[in-house]
Amino acid sequence: MNSEFVRVLVVAGLVVLVCSPALAANADMSNKEMEATAERIKQTGRELREEIQRIREERIRMQEEQKRMQAQQAAERKREAAGREEEARRNAAALAEAKRGKRAESPRATGGTREGEA
């Protein structure tokens, strides 16, 4: 059993000696791959931050545009309301004038006489 144990130990030692340089080379490659991956992650992070900033700025511009449009619409509604009020005043004045004119014409139309006309 001792000889078998020694054989296993020797084989394991040889495997370690043979595989160590390959693993070390692989470790270098892994470090390079990890550095490349880290750089890609950093680049992606920068791109995402830029995109988020662009979206924020666009949202702010859209909100400002919406406020401007709402203010324009409110001003337009105010002008329209003022126009309707002015038209209503003119119509009321014209109606009052027409009523006064009818009242003034009314005695003449019925053939009525005024003092001093007989």
Helix/strand/coil (H/E/C) assignment for every residue in 51-110: HHHHHHHHHHHHHHHHHHHHHHHHHHHHHHHHHHHHHHHHHHHHHHHHHHHHHHHHHHHC
Mind listing the pLDDT tens digit for each residue in 92-102?
999 998 888 88
Distance CA 33, CA 26 (A): 10
Q: Three-state SS for 33?
A: helix
Query: pTM above 0.85?
Result: no
Q: Count up the domains in the chain and report the number.
A: 1
Q: What pLDDT, on the 0 to 100 scale, is given for residue 118?
A: 44
Asked if the structure places residue 64 within a domain, the reply is: yes
Amino acid 115: pLDDT? 52
- 22 part of a folded domain: no
- Quote the pLDDT of residue 113: 52
- Residue type at 48? L
CA distance 40 to 30: 15
Q: What single letter denotes the amino acid at residue 5?
A: F
- Residue 20's identity, in one-letter code, is S
Say which residue, 7 or 18, is predicted with more confidence.
Answer: 7
Q: Is residue 37 part of a domain?
A: yes
Task: Please state, in angstroms and rounded to a whole number, the distance separating the CA atoms of residues 93 and 114.
Answer: 29
Q: Which domain holds residue 97?
A: 30-103
Using the 8-state DSSP alphabet, how is residue 114 labeled?
-
Q: Is residue 113 included in any domain, yes or no?
A: no
The per-residue pLDDT for range 42-80, each reduced to its tens digit, is 999 999 999 999 999 999 999 999 999 999 999 999 999
Q: From CA 69, how far away is CA 71, in angstroms rounded?
A: 5
SS3 104: helix
